[in-house]
Amino acid sequence: MFTQEAKAIAEMIPSRPKIAVVLGSGLGGLVSKVQDAKCISYSGIKSLPVPTAPSHNGRFVFGKLGGRDIVLMDGRVHLYEGYTPQQVVAPIRLLRAIGVDTIILTNAAGGINKNLSVGDFMMIEDHISMFVPSPLIGSNDESLGTRFPDMSNAYSKELQRIVIKSAMNIGIDIKRGVYAQLTGPQFETPAEIKALSALGADSVGMSTVIESIAANHCGMRVAGISMIANMACGILDKPLSGEDVNEAAGQSANEFQALITEIVRNIE
């Protein structure tokens, strides 16, 4: 899968990064920290979907971060844009085809657990995927992965240790929890947040889980980090807006950039 596209990228980019970072809403500022950055627009690669969401660029950024070769996905697509789950995970599969084996998925999320506060970072320990269609539905490409992938370690324990150590190194009190993905684009109702809380979700958003499923399926190690951009509906008596989510993400930009850089530096 994506052999042609991977070959085309290899011809344009001399580096062969093994680490990728997917940047969530409002978190694209990390691009400015990449040295020797070389960008490839998704629109220039046939078969990749192009983001329509506000604040999502649509490009791969290759270069060096924390002394390592990396590729950033600056912008992602979402189910609510009308893309199929398979389209949403296409860039993840392309990254695998170019040799990436470790991926850090990030997002701006709503905090459900009352121990979380706006501006916190939550390391994703596990996820709830039941409210979104699986990207693995349909015929299985055995060259990518098995028909029935195990999901008991969807978020690599080894990477979780590195995330915690990295946060400690730079003085960030990182939280941990379970992330649930819903399709959106509407925010949840208070009843839905109560239900998600009862199911064990600590944060909620409109991305990440199906990417994690696809990345696990094709054999990547996955880490996940939510930036808590707002408390979820009904947790505080405050209406939600997409603009507020982006603004909160922007306010945490410096910490986010330092955290991701430190994680990348520490990845073995």
CB closer to ligand HPA, 5 vs 211: 211
Interaction of residue 118 with ligand HPA, rule CB under 6 A: no
Give the one residue of 229, 258, 259, 260 binding ligand HPA; rule: CB under 6 A: 229
Q: Show the 3-state SS of 101-158.
A: CEEEEEEEEEECCCCCCCCCEEEEEEEECCCCCCCCCCCCCCCCCCCCCCCCCCCCHH
Amino acid at the residue 222: V
Give the one residue of 232, 258, 263, 267 binding ligand HPA; rule: CB under 6 A: 232
Candidate ranges 81-89, 108-116, 169-177, 250-258; the one touching ligand HPA (CB under 6 A):
108-116
Chain position whose Cβ is nearest to ligand HPA: 110
Work out the burial of residue 70: count CB atoms within 10 Å of its CB; fewer than 13 is exposed, 13-18 middle, 19 or more buried.
buried
- Binding mask of the shown chain, residues 241 to 260, with x at each position contacting ligand HPA by CB under 6 A: ----x---------------
**Shortest distance in whole angstroms from residue 93 CB to ligand HPA:** 24
CB closer to ligand HPA, 103 vs 112: 112
**Shortest distance in whole angstroms from residue 129 CB to ligand HPA:** 15
Subset of 165-204 contacting ligand HPA (CB under 6 A):
187-188, 204
Measured CA to CA, the distance from residue 57 to residue 32 in angstroms comes to: 13
Interaction of residue 108 with ligand HPA, rule CB under 6 A: yes
**Shortest distance in whole angstroms from residue 35 CB to ligand HPA:** 30
Give the one residue of 26, 110, 135, 224 binding ligand HPA; rule: CB under 6 A: 110
**Shortest distance in whole angstroms from residue 91 CB to ligand HPA:** 20
CB closer to ligand HPA, 19 vs 206: 206
User: Residue 50, Cβ neighbours under 10 Å: how many?
Assistant: 17
12: CB partners within 8 A, 6+ apart: 38, 40
Measured CA to CA, the distance from residue 79 to residue 183 in angstroms comes to: 6
Give the one residue of 45, 104, 109, 154 binding ligand HPA; rule: CB under 6 A: 109
Q: How many residues does the chain have?
A: 268
Interaction of residue 98 with ligand HPA, rule CB under 6 A: no
Candidate ranges 97-105, 128-136, 162-170, 227-235; the one touching ligand HPA (CB under 6 A):
227-235
Asked whether 123 and 175 are in contact (CB, 8 A), the reply is yes
Footprint of ligand HPA (CB under 6 A): 108-110, 187-188, 204-206, 229-230, 232, 240, 245
